[in-house]
Amino acid sequence: MRKPVVVITGAGGEIGHGLIEQLAADGTRLIVTLDMAPLEVPLAKHVAREFTGSILDRSLLERIHSEFEVDMVFHLAALLSTRSEFSPVMAHEVNVEGTLNLLEFAQHEAESHGRPVTFLYPSSIAAYGMPSLDAKRTAGRVKEHEWTHPTTMYGCNKLYCEQLGEYYARHYKQLSAESIAGRVDFRAVRFPGLISAITVPSGGTSDYAPEMIHAAAKGEPYACFVRPDAQIPFMAMPDGVGALLKLAAAPRASLTQTTYNLGAFAPTADDVRREVLQAFPGAQMSFIVDTKRQGIIDSWPADVDDGAARKDWGFAPEFDFERAFRDYLIPTIRRRYDRNR
């Protein structure tokens, strides 16, 4: 029997790294990837077929459609929040039109093989927009439907694409004679800032936390661009990848919503600095606040309520703040940079 195929866009990015390794270890699906750049060799060896190109290239998506029978998509490709503020039109193209292309791709796949395509979409804490610091302080752990007035292009893109996914899942071509909706089984998570020990992010606004840790491990000085009291939720990358896979495997009937908050710990930038200093006592870390990027962080909630994800599909992050540093970040990062010395 032919193995089912999973397509991963943005496969060479931070989430793609961990996801490809997990899917490969699992071994139940052939992995097909799409990324603008060729994958690093260790990743590429897990992949049945690697396409290098853009999610905006519909003919490339057509080619994948004609060659593979896809029953799952992880659509990870996106421009992050800081990057998107410098090129809002390009952000809209990649983040929104690109997602529309992938939803159409999934719809066509489902129509041609007759089974639903599970579509995993990483949305973001950027979908929120707290109007003031006071509101942020008093809001507590924010629920999915609260404060959804993002101030960034990226946040607007993510929030809209959550709705677009829901449209495909529930109302697609609702006026046509035969029922077509429901072929794309759309499932989204709103990730907090993700911290990986293997890769460093680029173009995000939550990047200060991973940048601080990686700089300290490399013995480089780091100036954090947000205030010491800046606070948003974060998560260790293995829990992020684990959550995507767990949501992908959840029975459809147990899901009461299409988009779920995820959280794990919600440190201030100063909490991160103190934890990093414990591991790397000589680290040189200062704060030189970029008021504009700080403004973006201030617009994101201090923490999120992820009760629905825990209840519906058993989301349970393995790493709290201390464990993330002690058992994952510090040992893995140490090994990584020691090897390079």
Chain positions contacting ligand SER, by CB under 6 A:
80-81, 124-126, 154, 191, 193, 204-206
Q: State which residue, 49 or 149, has the beta carbon closest to ligand SER.
A: 149
CA atoms of 277 and 216, how far apart (whole Å):
8
Q: How near is the Cβ of 60 to ligand SER at its closest, in Å?
A: 26
CA atoms of 99 and 168, how far apart (whole Å):
12
Q: How near is the Cβ of 100 to ligand SER at its closest, in Å?
A: 20
Collapse the DSSP code of 302 into the 3-class scheme (helix H, G, I; strand E, B; otherwise coil) and give the result: coil
Map tokens 């710990």 to a residue: 265
CA atoms of 187 and 73, how far apart (whole Å):
10
Q: State which residue, 15 or 43, has the beta carbon closest to ligand SER.
A: 15
Q: How near is the Cβ of 88 to ligand SER at its closest, in Å?
A: 14
DSSP 150-214: --SHHHHHHHHHHHHHHHHHHTTTTTSSS--TTSEEEEEEEE-EEE-SS----S-STTHHHHHHH
Residue nearest to ligand SER (CB): 204
- Greatest pairwise CA separation for the chain in angstroms: 68
Catalytic residue among 128, 154, 208, 222: 154
CA distances (Å), origin 264, targets 192, 208, 226, 237, 238? 8, 17, 21, 11, 12
Q: How near is the Cβ of 49 to ligand SER at its closest, in Å?
A: 29
Concerning whether 154 is annotated as a catalytic residue, the answer is yes
CA atoms of 75 and 103, how far apart (whole Å):
9
Q: State which residue, 153 or 216, has the beta carbon closest to ligand SER.
A: 153
DSSP 204-230: -STTHHHHHHHHHHHT--EEESS-TT-
Q: State which residue, 54 or 205, has the beta carbon closest to ligand SER.
A: 205
Q: How near is the Cβ of 281 to ligand SER at its closest, in Å?
A: 28
Q: State which residue, 33 or 124, has the beta carbon closest to ligand SER.
A: 124
Q: Which residues are catalytic?
A: 154
